[in-house]
Structures are given as structure tokens and as C-alpha cells.
């Protein structure tokens, strides 16, 4: 009787341990996290991504606004890494954001 009790308890414990083990995580995708994670890493523009997703109207406007904001942030980081200031920074930011957005 004791053996059955211990065997049953061992089965319950092993089942509970297996049930609590998290599933293995999938490998992260090679694509950037946001619409424009870094200006030089992404080859598609915001407009191309919107067309690919077949967005129109308010959904497209919202996506484009967020994408442009993300591109501006990424370009700002890029200009700081390059230690740009003044007119050089302005020119770089304008070109970088336009390239990312696709205008």
C-alpha cells in the first residue's frame, strides 16, 4: 500500500513539474521590433509597409504617423552616434526620415 502511495505521489509531482515548465521561446525574428527600428537596418519604407498591409483611411494615417515618429527617434539616435550638430544634423534628419517614410 505504501509503495502505491509513493508511486502515485511521484507521478503527481512529475506531472505538476512538467505542467509548470514554460514552453521554449521561439527565436526572435530578424525584422526590427517597430515599423522603423533603425534607419539603415530596414530596406522597406513606411509607405511600402502600409501598402503591403493594405491599409487605407484612418488606419493608414495612424500607421504612417507612428512609423514617422519611430523613424524620427531612430534617426535622432543615429545623428547622436555620428555626433552631428547644426545644419549637418538638420540635413541628416530630413534625409533619414524621408528615406524611412518613403516620401
Number of domains in the chain: 1
Signed CA dihedral, 63, 68, 69, 75: sign only: positive
pLDDT, tens only, 48-90: 888 899 988 999 899 999 999 999 999 999 999 999 999 999 9
100: in domain: yes
Report the predicted TM-score, pTM, of the whole model to 2 decimal places. 0.55
- Structural domain span for residue 53: 44-103
91: in domain: yes
Instruction: Residue 39: name the closest of 93, 2, 1 by CA.
Output: 93
85: in domain: yes
pLDDT, tens only, 9-35: 666 566 554 445 555 555 444 444 444
79: in domain: yes
pLDDT for 76:
92
7: in domain: no
90: in domain: yes
61: in domain: yes
Amino acid at each position: 500500500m505504501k509503495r502505491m502511495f509513493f508511486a502515485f505521489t511521484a507521478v503527481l509531482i512529475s506531472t505538476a513539474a512538467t505542467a509548470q515548465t514554460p514552453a521554449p521561446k521561439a527565436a526572435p525574428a530578424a525584422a526590427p521590433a517597430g515599423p522603423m527600428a533603425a534607419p539603415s537596418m530596414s530596406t522597406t519604407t513606411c509607405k511600402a509597409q502600409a501598402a503591403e498591409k493594405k491599409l487605407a483611411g484612418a488606419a493608414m494615417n495612424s500607421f504612417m504617423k507612428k512609423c514617422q515618429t519611430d523613424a524620427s527617434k531612430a534617426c535622432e539616435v543615429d545623428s547622436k552616434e555620428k555626433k552631428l550638430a547644426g545644419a549637418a544634423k538638420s540635413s541628416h534628419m530630413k534625409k533619414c526620415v524621408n528615406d524611412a517614410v518613403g516620401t
